[in-house]
Structure 1
Amino acid sequence: MNAPNGILVVDKPADWTSHDVVARVRRVANTRKVGHAGTLDPMATGILVLGLGPSTRLLTYLVGADKEYLATIRLGASTTTDDAEGESLGWAPAERVRAITPARQADAIAHLTGEIDQVPSSVSAIKVDGKRAYARARAGEQVELKSRRVTVSEFEVLGTRGATGPDGEAAVDVDVRVACSSGTYVRALARDVGVALLTGGHLTALRRTRVGPFTLTDAHALDDLDVASALVRPATAASAIFPVLALTQAQAQDLGHGKKIEVDAPDAETAAAVAPDGRLVGLAAVRNGGARTIVNFPVPTEASGPSAEPSAGPNTEQES
């Protein structure tokens, strides 16, 4: 029996870490070679894309894909983590919260839409001198992260309602939809909206609804997960990300052996090279009528047990 090979889209439940999901899939699929593309915080739910077997090689290309989220921002208080899991840094006066008008709210969000310079949360997974920022912050160190350029292509308000803090403090909950580039922190958007409105703000709910071409309709619950039927074939996954380069049998053999081949196809920085039998031969660069291999995808080996090689796939930063 061949080892599992493909992309698995999971609907991560709340209070699970991304590592918890990987560990579950390893056990269910009976393979150690499992990686994921883009960490979700434990409080977040939604799409977590995993790669099994040789398809872990595709994860590098999915890490950089655009994402979409549904989130709730609570205006009225900031926290140490920019979300509900952190300690409160104090509540704004009730009159300041009541002064939030739809126009002011829209203006704050407009200034956080498009290409922006964003300072990630101090409890992000970004490395500072070789150590994760969240580890330094939780150890009591002062963490100052540099801003970086991200793109928030859509920042839409879906609804607004009054709310209260744990001791009756005045607050406003804003439900939003955010489409953004990889590396954007929705927690930081919540924080910065609160800064702009002089009320403080933090995230109370987050659900990732899209990663690149994959949406919640592609996602599977962890309960009673049938990996074999849920796996997206490597060629299908790669074809959803890149233009397809359809190969003849001879071309597939040559490209699989690392040879440059002649093709009748438009130029593409990266293309999914697919054999006549539907197998993903690899990813290829196409230029001036020629194609060369970027990454090969070998035929998967026999199913592996607990002693197989460790998980493959990128070690990614949190994006929430």
Structure 2
Amino acid sequence: MESGLVIVDKPAGWTSHDVVGRMRRLAKTRRVGHAGTLDPMATGVLVLGVGKATRLLGHLALTEKAYDGTIRLGESTNTDDAEGETTATSPADGVTDAELRAGIAALTGPIRQVPPQVSAIKVNGERAYRMARKGEEVDLAARPVTVHGFTVTDVRRHGELIDVDATVVCSSGTYIRALARDLGASLGCGGHLTALRRTRVGPYDLSMARTLDRLAEDLEIIPMEDAVAAVFPRRDVSDDDARKVAHGGRLPAAGLGPGPVGVFAPDGSLLALVEERGEVAKPLAVFVP
């Protein structure tokens, strides 16, 4: 089985794990994983690794992401999205466009965000969503995230509710549900997310994503070499250095940055991901046998 990435356009109602299960059957291998969970309600770009590429996923998950979503102001839910139960309502019709813009500006840039109560974050070894479903109050610490862009594309007012369509570009670990909750809280009316579509993970966008039906007909796998070269700095090495890397050896640093660097053999094949620390480049993952 060829190793590489598969970019899926996740359907609504599927968990990320459901998509992994389907891909295991299509690719005929258990070695399938995903980078960056999407909630069941959400659709869009889900990056899967097949075979050796599963070892890339932890590094790919840290890249920037982009979303299109709809925030409903005037209603709060226990999950901060439309899948949960309504916990409070408060008229939003008094919120002005200027107040809306100010609320969004306050949630743009480096912020500290408390994840949703119903999330996959572990608290003392247990998933927060499992604790929340048992009725336990989950105390989640605020985490630093960066919202690079939070742009309103449409505002629709109906009665006491406001629906805000927005595009968000953010760092890994940012919850769009929490942005909806916090925007509503800051405006005094509550809010939750009613629709979400992930449009990009790092360099992989919707133009590269395929539906599961399409992948069942033609399983498009991005080769490991292309996947790494698209995301990380590239370092081509000599035969001697290639042998060193293949055996887990270190190379002199080449000044290619603090993050992972893809190391390629003279024939263009991917050898490893390395990380430069001081004067040396240490292997993070070696892909040759």
Structure-2-length-normalised TM-score = 0.94
Listed as ranges, the matches of 1:1-320 within 5 Å are: 3-93=1-91, 97-163=92-158, 170-225=160-215, 230-261=220-251, 265-269=254-258, 270-286=260-276, 291-299=281-289
CA deviations over 1:68-91 (Å, ceiling 9, x no partner): 110000011101111111111232
CA deviations over 1:163-196 (Å, ceiling 9, x no partner): 36xxxxx211000011111111100110111111
Q: Are the equivalent residues in 2 in contact too, given 1:4–1:31 (CA < 8 A)?
A: no
Deviation at 1:279, TM superposition (A): 1.2
Q: Are the equivalent residues in 2 in contact too, given 1:191–1:201 (CA < 8 A)?
A: yes
Q: Are the equivalent residues in 1 in contact too, given 2:233–2:256 (CA < 8 A)?
A: no
Alignment: residue pair count: 288
Q: In structure 2, how many angstroms separate the alpha carbons of the residues matched to 1:15 and 1:286? A: 41
- How well do the aligned residues superpose, as a CA RMSD in angstroms? 1.9
Q: Which amino acid aligns with 2:161?
A: A
Q: Give secondary structure in 2 for the equivalent of 1:277.
A: coil
Q: Are the equivalent residues in 2 in contact too, given 1:187–1:203 (CA < 8 A)?
A: yes
CA separation of 1:16 and 1:267: change in aligned 2, threshold 3 A: closer
Deviation at 1:261, TM superposition (A): 4.2
Structure-1-length-normalised TM-score = 0.85
Unaligned runs of 5+ in 2: none
Q: In structure 2, how many angstroms separate the alpha carbons of the residues matched to 1:35 and 1:255? A: 25
Q: Are the equivalent residues in 2 in contact too, given 1:160–1:175 (CA < 8 A)?
A: yes
Aligned sequence identity (%): 51
Q: In structure 2, how many angstroms separate the alpha carbons of the residues matched to 1:261 and 1:200? A: 54
Q: In structure 1, how many angstroms separate the alpha carbons of the residues matched to 2:158 and 2:10? A: 27
Q: Are the equivalent residues in 2 in contact too, given 1:116–1:151 (CA < 8 A)?
A: yes
Q: Are the equivalent residues in 2 in contact too, given 1:267–1:287 (CA < 8 A)?
A: no
Q: Which amino acid aligns with 1:107?
A: A
Q: Give secondary structure in 1 for the equivalent of 2:83.
A: coil
Q: Are the equivalent residues in 1 in contact too, given 2:119–2:128 (CA < 8 A)?
A: yes
Q: In structure 2, how many angstroms separate the alpha carbons of the residues matched to 1:157 and 1:286? A: 39
Q: Are the equivalent residues in 2 in contact too, given 1:29–1:227 (CA < 8 A)?
A: no
Q: In structure 2, how many angstroms separate the alpha carbons of the residues matched to 1:142 and 1:291? A: 45
Q: In structure 2, how many angstroms separate the alpha carbons of the residues matched to 1:104 and 1:89? A: 24
Q: Give secondary structure in 2 for the equivalent of 1:98.
A: coil
Deviation at 1:293, TM superposition (A): 2.6
CA separation of 1:244 and 1:192: change in aligned 2, threshold 3 A: same
Q: In structure 1, how many angstroms separate the alpha carbons of the residues matched to 2:158 and 2:30? A: 45
Q: Give secondary structure in 2 for the equivalent of 1:230.
A: coil
Q: In structure 1, how many angstroms separate the alpha carbons of the residues matched to 2:140 and 2:251? A: 46
Q: Are the equivalent residues in 2 in contact too, given 1:256–1:281 (CA < 8 A)?
A: yes
Deviation at 1:268, TM superposition (A): 3.4
